[in-house]
Chains A and B, each alone.
Chain A
């Protein structure tokens, strides 16, 4: 006999952006969460499992942040579609946890008003009550509960308070909301009549009808209803509302705001003269035209110093481990090609990339910290002054900041940009921002350039490379806005959330996720590429058995490929071995480091393993000149700042723009720019008498 499993209830977390939704989601689900995409759209879908106070299972869905169900971006459209039960891939939630920022309660209540209209049981998570209290806002909880007719749980999610009460509220039977914002009589009558004509879920029909009444365009209406008769009925209903002297778009909105005013008059009391909050005072400095910039550069510099300083120990440890592993393979596996494949291909290729895990973790620690504390929005705000000069607005800077982690989420974040041309410009320049995959290449080249540099010097060079990427992105955006994608400079409307202490659990959870992604990539893509690169650099074997390892590589397939592109890269000061690195890393930048590891390991197969950096410093041309001169090292870094070298980004641009035209154009312009940048560094430096 088997026990009947308890039915899993589907719970969705909805709320405005920056209200603490994701913090609550992470705290409830912990590591039991999966991140994917909603089929057909590039909107992230996060689901996780947690258990109620009686052990009953809940599947929790973190909906994209939205201000209302009248959507303005694909993210908001997904939230609306899930709540209305329109998506076949996601069940309509049984309960909604509506997260409300208590310090901004009036604005947040607009979404609450719309959620109450859906007929789905709602639990209101009143988050950040501590911030509201500091601002002098007093919320009468029993009055709020009575006015809304739903359970209200006060919370401070970042401090972990309110979760027990939230789980208790979810474990109780929750009836559908009894109250909702009353609509003007004619609007209500038309909505009810229209609801009967829609082929949608009966429990969502009134909400659907109210949304349809706000759409004025016939084409959009036909698309939204999928039914010409329903679209015509909506148009006729709009006309009748207009004939009654009301605006079909603004009257439901005004009705909701009037209701919110009533709720707030009863349940919310604000200090007469709101004192200047800590956030306001801090913003006086951090968004100041001069101090704001200095603070921004200071924060970035601190981040890079910590990346070098903090990562050194763990990196040395991983390096030691890799060398020992290569030596162990050489003693345990008999001599032959398989031994070379394992020690010179797999261990050198994968180990060469894995060594940079500590630096990438520190980068993500800082990015998480900046985002959670609310500083990212300030960075976008001060950047708006620069962005508007190139014809974009601060909203374009948020995808560019995300691209510091990886261009893929950065490009996906451009969906919040309403203007198509501005969005395209942002997609075209976002990969110029230095992503985490470039970090290994920069770190290796800096180590070869100045082996004895202090953490501060290394951070300075690294910061310069990141700034170069940013400047290149601005210049290219300006060029595109003036030529290919001309349009007006948009206005910036940006919410500056109050500063708050980061949710450490969330920050560490994100670092853990990134570590898993990085290691999975190293164990799959990088591993497979390392094996193929090793084969290309080993076969065919030289006919002369006395050939030196260098001669053997030169006549391998990889060596011949390197030689074939040598005329193209010679003006940049690169030899054919660097050429192999450029070809090998076309699909993924960090493979450059692995390829260098494989090339020099095969060459020095007879010697004891030594750090790649030292091998590269000692590398000489046939005439005895060093290969990696300062100009070559800087030129290579500049090349990697500007070059595309990432197949995943090409694929995502193809999907986001729905054509091959833009990704191919992007690869072409970035490769040309990279070549030109490296050419200017090398040849310009030589003209100035540098090496």
Chain B
């Protein structure tokens, strides 16, 4: 494998992993999901 392809693949995997965690943080900030699978949506209670 050429050095540049190797670098691109490794960088892509690392960036992908970092993006995965960034997306999780953003989703949590928006108030949803926990990785345990025990709870899913947690939007604020609709005002009655």
> Using Cβ atoms and an 8 Å threshold, which residues of chain A touch B21?
528
Q: Is the CB of B17 within 8 A of A517?
A: no
Which bucket holds chain B's interface residue count?
20 to 34
Q: How distant is the Cα of A40 from the Cα of B42 in the complex, in angstroms? A: 5
Q: Given known contacts A40-B44, A88-B46, A648-B36, is B6 in contact with A532 (CB within 8 Å)?
A: no
Q: How distant is the Cα of A513 from the Cα of B17 in the complex, in angstroms? A: 25
Please give the distance in Å from A453's CB to the nearest CB on chain B: 31
Please give the distance in Å from B30's CB to the nearest CB on chain A: 12
**Which residues of A in the span 397-422 have a Cβ within 8 Å of any Cβ on B?**
406, 408-409, 412
- A242 located at the interface, meaning its Cβ lies under 8 Å from any Cβ of chain B in the complex: no
Q: Given known contacts A338-B6, A531-B14, is B20 in contact with A412 (CB within 8 Å)?
A: no
Q: How distant is the Cα of A520 from the Cα of B1 in the complex, in angstroms? A: 31
Q: Is the CB of B43 within 8 A of A39?
A: yes
Q: How distant is the Cα of A442 from the Cα of B43 in the complex, in angstroms? A: 37
> Using Cβ atoms and an 8 Å threshold, which residues of chain A touch B14?
531-532, 535
Please give the distance in Å from B40's CB to the nearest CB on chain A: 4
> Using Cβ atoms and an 8 Å threshold, which residues of chain A touch B17?
527-529, 531-532
What 1/0 flags go to A494-523 for Cβ under 8 Å of B? 000000000000000000010011001100
Q: Is the CB of A408 within 8 A of B7?
A: no
Which bucket holds chain A's interface residue count?
35 or more
Q: Is the CB of A338 within 8 A of B1?
A: yes
- A4 located at the interface, meaning its Cβ lies under 8 Å from any Cβ of chain B in the complex: no
> Using Cβ atoms and an 8 Å threshold, which residues of chain B touch A39?
41-46
Q: Is the CB of A226 within 8 A of B38?
A: no
Q: Is the CB of A333 within 8 A of B37?
A: no
Please give the distance in Å from B26's CB to the nearest CB on chain A: 14
- A555 located at the interface, meaning its Cβ lies under 8 Å from any Cβ of chain B in the complex: no
> Using Cβ atoms and an 8 Å threshold, which residues of chain B touch A36?
39-41
Q: How distant is the Cα of A524 from the Cα of B40 in the complex, in angstroms? A: 16
Please give the distance in Å from A84's CB to the nearest CB on chain B: 11
> Using Cβ atoms and an 8 Å threshold, which residues of chain A touch B43?
39-40
Q: How distant is the Cα of A87 from the Cα of B18 in the complex, in angstroms? A: 38
Q: How distant is the Cα of A44 from the Cα of B40 in the complex, in angstroms? A: 9
Residue from B16, B40, B45 in contact with A41 in the complex, judged by beta carbons closer than 8 Å? B45
> Using Cβ atoms and an 8 Å threshold, which residues of chain A touch B3?
336
> Using Cβ atoms and an 8 Å threshold, which residues of chain B touch A525?
35
Q: How distant is the Cα of A302 from the Cα of B27 in the complex, in angstroms? A: 41
> Using Cβ atoms and an 8 Å threshold, which residues of chain B touch A197?
none
- A353 located at the interface, meaning its Cβ lies under 8 Å from any Cβ of chain B in the complex: no
Please give the distance in Å from A556's CB to the nearest CB on chain B: 14
The residue of chain B having its C-beta at the shortest distance from the C-beta of A89 within the complex is B46
**Which residues of A in the span 303-339 have a Cβ within 8 Å of any Cβ on B?**
333-338
Q: How distant is the Cα of A531 from the Cα of B6 in the complex, in angstroms? A: 15
Residue from B7, B34, B37, B41 in contact with A652 in the complex, judged by beta carbons closer than 8 Å? B34
The residue of chain A having its C-beta at the shortest distance from the C-beta of B14 within the complex is A535
The residue of chain A having its C-beta at the shortest distance from the C-beta of B21 within the complex is A528
Q: Is the CB of A44 within 8 A of B39?
A: yes
Q: How distant is the Cα of A37 from the Cα of B42 in the complex, in angstroms? A: 7
Please give the distance in Å from B13's CB to the nearest CB on chain A: 5
> Using Cβ atoms and an 8 Å threshold, which residues of chain A touch B18?
532
The residue of chain B having its C-beta at the shortest distance from the C-beta of A513 within the complex is B37
Q: Is the CB of B34 within 8 A of A338?
A: no
Q: Given known contacts A532-B14, A652-B34, is B39 in contact with A40 (CB within 8 Å)?
A: no
Residue among B6, B34, B38, B45 with the most chain A CB within 10 A?
B38
Q: How distant is the Cα of A89 from the Cα of B48 in the complex, in angstroms? A: 11
Q: Given known contacts A40-B46, A88-B48, is B10 in contact with A406 (CB within 8 Å)?
A: no
Please give the distance in Å from B7's CB to the nearest CB on chain A: 7
> Using Cβ atoms and an 8 Å threshold, which residues of chain B touch A524?
20, 35
Q: How distant is the Cα of A412 from the Cα of B10 in the complex, in angstroms? A: 40
> Using Cβ atoms and an 8 Å threshold, which residues of chain A touch B28?
651
The residue of chain A having its C-beta at the shortest distance from the C-beta of B40 within the complex is A36
Please give the distance in Å from A515's CB to the nearest CB on chain B: 11
> Using Cβ atoms and an 8 Å threshold, which residues of chain B touch A406?
36, 38
Please give the distance in Å from A594's CB to the nearest CB on chain B: 13
Please give the distance in Å from B4's CB to the nearest CB on chain A: 11
Residue from A40, A44, A341 in contact with B10 in the complex, judged by beta carbons closer than 8 Å? A341
**Which residues of A in the span 363-382 have a Cβ within 8 Å of any Cβ on B?**
none
> Using Cβ atoms and an 8 Å threshold, which residues of chain B touch A335?
1
Residue among B14, B18, B34, B39 with the most chain A CB within 10 A?
B39
Q: How distant is the Cα of A89 from the Cα of B35 in the complex, in angstroms? A: 23
- A29 located at the interface, meaning its Cβ lies under 8 Å from any Cβ of chain B in the complex: no
Interface residues in chain A, defined as those with a beta carbon under 8 Å from any beta carbon in chain B? 35-37, 39-42, 44, 86-89, 226, 333-338, 341, 406, 408-409, 412, 513, 516-517, 520-521, 524-525, 527-529, 531-532, 535, 648, 651-652, 655
Known: A36-B40, A525-B35. 13 other contacts (CB 8 A): A39-B41, A42-B39, A88-B46, A337-B6, A341-B9, A409-B36, A528-B16, A528-B20, A531-B13, A532-B17, A532-B18, A535-B10, A648-B35
5 closest A-B pairs by beta carbon, nearest first, are A40-B45, A36-B40, A517-B37, A334-B1, A528-B17
